[in-house]
Amino acid sequence: MGKFDSKVVIVTGSSSGIGEATAIAFAKEGANVTVTGRNAERLAGVAEKCRKAGAKVLEIVCELTKFESLELVINKTVEAFGALDILVNNAGSGIMGPVEKMELNEYEELMQLDVRAPIFLCKYALPHLRKTKGCIVNVSSSFSTRAYPGMVVYCLTKAAMDHFTRGLASECVADGIRVNTINPGMVVTRFMDPLLSEQDISNFRKDFSATKQPLGAVPKEEIASGILYLCGATSATGTSLVVDGGLGIE
């Protein structure tokens, strides 16, 4: 038997990276999983891996910057599985470059995906989580407490997510719903593809790890393990679990 046998879990942004690793980890622990993403082919591949681990899986191809998708993800999950126990808000994007060169459409898309989407997914999930005494994990970043040139607005969105998580935890504690964040350091995944070239990613990984993150890039599987830990830690709410490869000791 797995630690999350028959629990119903939503993992957004689960077609690759941290979301993929998290969905598979829950599947291996007996959960029923909803996976979401924009790329149908990659999402189907992740769903198949979850099924091979023994899970029942619901695939939802959607764009979470479209407001109507948010309630749809929650409703379809409850329709398919009859309940909701865990929401993992993992989907996100970033902007690389100075504020002076940022365009309005880039800013709006970032805020819609990194801030608006998790907030309203939580809103629509709460009535169902209240019934199951469930929990929420918001995937933030260790950059939430730091300001890096060229990543200012991304850092802002993650600071907002940390503060939102603490506030929501205080609102939900009486209902038995726990809300936490996990704050990864640099994890090299498809997340960086739209931001940097392949060579830039290689250089960024090497240089950043050497100068800022002494233990190197964090494996996505370790972040997934941290998420599962928070979902099973019945005394943790309103907290941030930092897994940053030593970034915080500089």
| Residue 84: strand, helix, or coil | coil
CA–CA distance, 138 with 131 (Å, rounded to integer): 20
CA–CA distance, 94 with 172 (Å, rounded to integer): 29
Burial class (CB in 10 A: 0-12, 13-18, 19+), 197: exposed
Sign of the CA dihedral running 66, 39, 41, 25: negative
On whether the CB atoms of residues 34 and 128 are closer than 8 A, the answer is no
Bridge partners of 180, per DSSP, are: 137
CA–CA distance, 203 with 186 (Å, rounded to integer): 13
Bridge partners of 95, per DSSP, are: none
Residue of 107, 124, 148, 154 marked active site: 154
Active site includes 154?
Answer: yes
Q: Which residues are catalytic?
A: 154
